[in-house]
A and B are shown apart, each in its own frame.
Chain A
Amino acid sequence: MKSSLATRLLGFAVACSVAGGIAPAHSQESKPWEKIPIPALREFKPQEPKRIELKNGIVIFLQEDHELPFVSGSVLIPGGARDEDASKAGLVDLYGQTWRTSGTAKMTGDAMDDMLEAKAAHIESGGGEDSTSVSWDSLKGDADQVLSMALDLLFHPKFDEQKLRLAKQQLATAIVRRNDDEAEIAGREAAKLVYGADSPYARQPELATIRGVALADLQAWHDKTLGYKLIVSVGGDFDSAAMEAKLRAALEGLPPAKQMPQRHDEFHAPKQALYFINKEDVNQSNVQIVGLGTVRRNPDVPALAVMNDILGGGFASRLFQTVRTKLGLAYAVGGGFGFAYDHPATFDVEVLTQSATTVKATRAALDVIGGLDASPFTDEELKRAKDDILNSFLFRYDTKEKVLAESVRLEFYGYPADYLETYEVALKKVTLADVAAAAKKYIHAEQVAVLVVGNASEMKPGLEELKLGPVHPIDISIPGAPTGGPQGGENQQ
């Protein structure tokens, strides 16, 4: 169902992670685990999907997997929420919901639900930041019929007023509830500090912007994006030749795919500053230390990945070792310098600590980050981090499903098909000097904003003790929502 609401209910999925400081100069006499033989790993070459490029530019990936009697597939369509008009923020979300629930000229969404669920099958549509999609799955015996229905939905949607209304209700519910959960507030507002509140990568739907979305907007979005380069992927228990024939018959007649217009976003690192959001019903602060990250194409990414592992990527990382293990100040602590496929991600370090220790824990995390420059990386850290990353690299392609998903991802963002192989090679080559250079080049204390969401009445000492300049309160009140819920400070920052 609604992903934003689901996210709400999920509360936070904070992954506990890592890093710190104490370089263990082991004086253990015996390490019995090191005497255990580690035989060579069985030779394994993951099965690559078959790639078919149609004359009109549409790309198809077919990945046979006969272990279980299921077939699943998806059509990935360029264009997502970052491309929607700011005055209609929420449009792609509403589109992603309404598309499937409305159904087609042949069959209403409700009738589709009845028919599919009786077969334990699914067809769903969805909208994300940079793409939308239609996906399906069913038992093998129903696969032909479900594929036909999915293609009918792809090409002949009939957007329905009632279903748009339901989608708006879902989204409005998520909007008025968005300040209930501390972690949701922290994640959202931290992104705004990095990208700017109005950035396509940080802005949020409001009651007013979703009110303005009409049925015609959904149809127009659909007509526009269906003309871009579609990527079709099918995995499971089917015959590739037969599936190729079916997909060719359905897709070959489409006009040549249009080029999606290039985005021209500007990204600026935030200035060092301290921000605060007061929430009276919590006893733990959520601290976000954020800056601008980078793009995966950046040749420094392998070095940054190793640096991340040392900084915040596991139990042995500096953040985890210091803030959690040594100081006992947090359950959830971790983070790193992010890289996304086609735009700069964020640098984000997160610490959750009881109100009274907010300053202490924030200071500890800042010191670890600052220490990336000051306390030199050791050979031991480098070796550990590379072992972590390289020995588990296999889990990026240990199922046929993951290999298929990776192929689609690389195709969508225009990366070479052998990206994982070259990335692994590059990771192996990372040296201590590379990591030190990356830390020096990318980690700058004066380009990091600190956001604290927490309960002011319990914080002692107060945030001014962080000595990061004036505390800027952020107003998070929800325009047009009934009063209630936590209030931020009175001033717009």
Chain B
Amino acid sequence: MRLRAFCWLKTSWLTMGAVLLIAAGWGVAASGVAGAQDLKSFEQRITTKVLPNGLTILICERPEAPVFSYTTFVDVGDVNDPWGESGLAHMFEHLAFKGTTQIGTRNWPAEKVALEKVEEANSAYEQEYRNPNGSDPQKLAAVKAKFEEAQAEAEKYVIPNQFTEVAERNGVHGLNAETGLDETQYFWSMPENRLELWAWLESARLSDVVPREFYKERDVVMEERRMRTDSNPEGRLFEQFASTAYVAHPYGRSGIGWPSELSQITATEAMDFHKAYYVGANIVVAVVGDVKAAETMPMLEKYFSKVSGGPRPLKMTTVEPKQFAEKKVTIREMSQPIYIEGYHRGDYHDPDDAVYDAIGDIFSNGRVSRLYRSLVRDQQIAALAVGESPFPGSKFPSLFLFGAVPLPGHTPAEMADAIHKEIDKLKTADVTDEELAMFKTRARADLLRGLGDNQGLADALAEYQTRYGDWRELFKQLDRVDKVSKADIRRVANKVFVASNRTEAWTETAAPAQEPKPAAPAGGKAGAQ
């Protein structure tokens, strides 16, 4: 139950771009895929079926061991959060673990009535809390008490965590979900003899979710925000960076939600969100492992037909306007310096998508990469330096991101200068034949390596089926990789890496405060709530 964007970013920083191609869309292709697994052998092992409600089921037979993994890929993320409700997609994802009208409840009809009263009580609380003339503390306390009473009443009908308990008792492995700005994914692995049980659980939570324990879970997600963003120097930096780089598109909005908005999301809003976006046409379910499509498809069809068949939501209207002013953000605080900068680029459909992958690979992948050799090995000013994309999502026009971690005694300004010099080289001279060939070889090998893992394969197949309408694009992408030329790289570098298209953000270490601080907490004054 993680937020995806930051996890991805950190993962890719960890390996200096090695996983970039996988995370960013496996920029690999079919031509020349040698050996055991290629497009042709996959065509024989993959079955897809679009149900009458629009939902796509994809099965990939890989009977290595009596297990399977699945990914449910819902084409909705925190970019779809309505204004004033940032964090809603992620909040809903948490709700999807709370059970249904059949699981997690002692008495659904009674619980339903109790939950309606919770909504009424919350509504009354909000009326007072958001009173334009200011709330009356006494009234507020009274409605709050009623709200808490209503929740306590509803809780009487709850069997806590029953949905996950059933999954756990049946041998689930790697149970989790991730909400990104672009999409929401639910996934786990199980022994193959639990396939039907899984289909029951998964189809139930997609079609029959209820607003159970919503407000307590909202507190849990507030803690998740404190952990990932507020109490983490990189979390703070990236949130400020993205919100500066974008002026209109929700890629600039906090994915986990701004505290004031997240803390006021309601169960009603979450259920409305579910109704609009959790429709068959917006969902792909991929299953990989010891599963026979011919035998199991009718059973899967029976369960997943329960998902609502409403219309596929329209694309959002907002398009980020062209940036014309260079922007800079400086955070002065007590942690060590980090430097990042980003340039607006196109979305994953951009004809130059593979060119960006090539630049990312040549700049960041391993100890042969340009930024490593320049900033880390030769100039010895950085411990880590990378340049890669897309950030913070890929479905909409995104950013090409550069970043560096200075060695002790070196400054963010030196990182910026050194990165800009490397960018200038890319604009004025062609990359070498060896660099370009290396990118293409590694792209192909990375795609192949990913095919040996049920969960990774389920993720990739579901993502490609959603984004391109055809999982084969996972392999066909290699054609675009093969077409990248030196001239493409120079052209794209000159077009995109210009100061007026740039946002820089960095942390500077602030001098420690002079006055002595209390050594131990003694109650203190009011803190963040």
Chain A residues packing against B (C-beta within 8 Å): 1-2, 5-6, 9-12, 14, 16, 22, 24, 26-28, 30-33, 36-42, 44, 46, 66-70, 101, 109-110, 113-114, 117-120, 139-140, 165-166, 169-170, 172-174, 176-177, 180-182, 237, 276, 278, 280-284, 314-316, 320-321, 324-332, 352-356, 384, 387-388, 390-395, 397-400, 454-464, 471, 473, 481-487, 489-491
Residues of A within 8 A of B162 (CB): 24
A36 touches B200 (CB 8 A): yes
A24 touches B159 (CB 8 A): yes
Asked if B232 CB lies within 8 Å of chain A CBs, one says: yes
Question: Using a CB-CB cutoff of 8 Å, which residues 425-462 of chain B contact chain A?
Answer: 434, 437-438, 441-442, 444-446, 448-449, 451-453
Roughly how many angstroms separate A481 CA and B453 CA in the complex, as a whole number? 44
Contact of B405 among A5, A22, A400, A459 (CB under 8 A): A5
Residues of B within 8 A of A66 (CB): 36
Residues of B within 8 A of A166 (CB): 376-377, 380
Roughly how many angstroms separate A40 CA and B193 CA in the complex, as a whole number? 7
Roughly how many angstroms separate A439 CA and B41 CA in the complex, as a whole number? 53
B168 touches A173 (CB 8 A): no
Residues of B within 8 A of A455 (CB): 527
Q: What's the A-B contact tally at a CB cutoff of 8 Å? A: 327
Roughly how many angstroms separate A42 CA and B166 CA in the complex, as a whole number? 21
Asked if B346 CB lies within 8 Å of chain A CBs, one says: no
Asked if B106 CB lies within 8 Å of chain A CBs, one says: yes
A331 touches B193 (CB 8 A): no
Contact of B519 among A39, A109, A278, A458 (CB under 8 A): A278
A-B contact pairs, 20 of them (CB 8 A): A31-B103, A44-B66, A68-B451, A69-B36, A117-B368, A172-B408, A316-B164, A328-B216, A329-B219, A331-B220, A352-B226, A354-B528, A391-B169, A393-B171, A394-B67, A454-B521, A457-B524, A459-B521, A481-B408, A484-B334
A181 to chain B, nearest CB (A): 7
Residues of B within 8 A of A387 (CB): 168-171
Asked if B127 CB lies within 8 Å of chain A CBs, one says: no
B194 touches A38 (CB 8 A): yes
Contact of A356 among B170, B513, B527 (CB under 8 A): B527
Asked if B223 CB lies within 8 Å of chain A CBs, one says: yes
A331 touches B224 (CB 8 A): yes
A491 touches B335 (CB 8 A): no
Give the segment of B8-16, B75-83, B274-282, B473-481 that binds chain A: B8-16
Residues of B within 8 A of A11 (CB): 10, 228, 232, 234-235
Roughly how many angstroms separate A460 CA and B213 CA in the complex, as a whole number? 26
Known pairs A113-B366, A484-B509; A328 contacts B219 (CB<8 A): yes
Contact of B1 among A16, A276, A328, A462 (CB under 8 A): A16
B155 to chain A, nearest CB (A): 9
Roughly how many angstroms separate A166 CA and B189 CA in the complex, as a whole number? 41
Roughly how many angstroms separate A304 CA and B512 CA in the complex, as a whole number? 45
Roughly how many angstroms separate A284 CA and B162 CA in the complex, as a whole number? 29
Roughly how many angstroms separate A321 CA and B213 CA in the complex, as a whole number? 12
A462 touches B523 (CB 8 A): yes
Roughly how many angstroms separate A315 CA and B164 CA in the complex, as a whole number? 6
Roughly how many angstroms separate A459 CA and B523 CA in the complex, as a whole number? 6
Roughly how many angstroms separate A169 CA and B528 CA in the complex, as a whole number? 38
Residues of B within 8 A of A140 (CB): 35
Roughly how many angstroms separate A149 CA and B206 CA in the complex, as a whole number? 52
Question: B489-529 interface mask toward A, CB cutoff 8 Å, 1 = contact, 0 = none?
Answer: 00000000000000000000111110001111111111111
Roughly how many angstroms separate A281 CA and B34 CA in the complex, as a whole number? 52
Contact of A394 among B64, B191, B217, B510 (CB under 8 A): B191
Known pairs A356-B529, A462-B521; A70 contacts B449 (CB<8 A): yes
Chain B residue, CB-CB nearest to A394? B191
A353 touches B160 (CB 8 A): no
